[in-house]
Each structure stands twice: as C-alpha cells, then as structure tokens.
Amino acid sequence: MADERPLNRRRFFREGLRELFRPLANALDPVHRVAEELGKLEQPYEPPRPVRHWLRPPGSLEEQRFREQCSRSGECVQVCPAKCIKIDHSGDQGEGVPYIEPNEMSCVLCTGLYCMHACPSGALQPTLVEYIDMGVAVWHESLCLRTHGENCTICVDQCPVGAKALLLVDGKVEVQQGCTGCGVCQHECPTTPKSITVTPKSAR
C-alpha cells in the first residue's frame, strides 16, 4: 500500500492540473483555428485563370475531348499548307494543343484538308467541308467600313465557302448557316479592330 501512495499522489496532481488547464485549452482552441485561417490569408492570392477560347483546326473534336485526345505531336502543324496551325508546348497559347490565330493566318480550307488526315490520335476527324464547324463569324456593324460609307466587300469576296457563309443583304454583311469559322474573313478584314471576327465553337 505504501508503494502505491506516491503513484496515486502523482496521478491526483496530474488529473488536477489537467482539469485546471482544461478551460484555458478550450479557450485557446478557437484562437488557434483563427490563427491558422489568418496564416492562409497571408499566402499570396492567385486569381483564377480566365477561361480562354481558341480556334481549333478543322475537324477538331469537342473542346475537352480535343485537349484530352490530342497527342501534341505537331503533325497537323507540319502538313498545313497555309501554315496557320500552331502549337505552343508551354501551354501559354492554345492551352498546349493546336490552335489557329486568324489575325496572323487563317485556315483556308485547303483542298486536301491535310491536317485531319495527318492527325495520329483522332483529335482531328476527317470531315467534309460543308460539315466543318470551327466556329462562326460575327459581323460588327459599327466597325465596318460599309457603315461609314465605303463599299468594302473584302470579307464576302475572300470567303472560301462563298454565299453559303457570307452575303450582302441590303448593304449589310449577313453570316449564313454555312459558315465554317475558318477565319479568312477576319484575317482579310482591313479594319482595326476587326469588323468581323470568329467566335470559336467552344465559346458558343
């Protein structure tokens, strides 16, 4: 019994101290959580990257599937006779997969449609011209030279699809259902900013 007394006494004091400091521990717990949250606030804020839409080569799959399936081999870039298809492996432009910047060079819907047939992954599917859907042209009337008295018809004249895509109706440019979104009209438009631009299909 005498040997148990020091042990019991130590246990008594230990339990007593635990009970004594329990309110303090409970009070500090929310403070600790607040301090953790404040620490998170001190981290540099990185705003979410804005969603950007890119004009993809003809025959491309739906955007997400295109990104996932594309092998990034660059074969479509190599065979393009217009040299309009680009790939930026850093991901800064085009999210790292093939894209077209029509202000620099547009797809010309070449006779061979070589990019589709060169694609090794199936991200570009062989498609007849009349079924190509890269996007759709949008005419900005207030910017157009025609609105300011000039008889400009460049976008209509240069369109590789012709009247199926662009028409002049009552002196105004009208985009038709046959528009493929190739970007020739945007590329050839002489105004800055462009009076006609292509909205990629992923943005519709």
Specify the DSSP element, H or E, that contains 136.
strand 135-139
Neighbouring residues of 88: CB distance < 8 A, sequence distance ≥ 6: 94, 96, 99
CATH number, domain 63-203: 3.30.70
Per-domain residue ranges of the chain: 1-46, 63-203
Give the span between the Cα atoms of 108 and 178, in whole angstroms. 15
79, 120 Cβ separation under 8 angstroms: no
pLDDT at 151: 96
Burial of 13 (0-12, 13-18, 19+ CB in 10 A): exposed
Cβ–Cβ contacts within 10 Å for residue 73, how many? 15
Q: What does the CA dihedral 94, 100, 105, 111 come to, rounded to 10 degrees?
A: 160
Give me 10's structure tokens: 């130590």
- 200 preceded by cis ω (within 30°)? no
DSSP characters over 12-72: HHHHHHHHHHHHHHHHHHHHHHHHHHHHHHTSPP-PPPPP---BPPTTBPPHHHHHHH---
72, 89 Cβ separation under 8 angstroms: yes
The per-residue pLDDT string of the chain (204 residues; one tens digit each, 9 = 90 and over) reads: 445 555 566 666 556 555 655 565 555 566 566 566 666 665 677 777 788 999 999 999 999 999 999 999 999 999 999 999 999 999 999 999 999 999 999 999 999 999 999 999 999 999 999 999 999 999 999 999 999 999 999 999 999 999 999 999 999 999 999 999 999 999 999 999 999 999 999 998
Give the span between the Cα atoms of 116 and 75, in whole angstroms. 10
96, 72 Cβ separation under 8 angstroms: yes
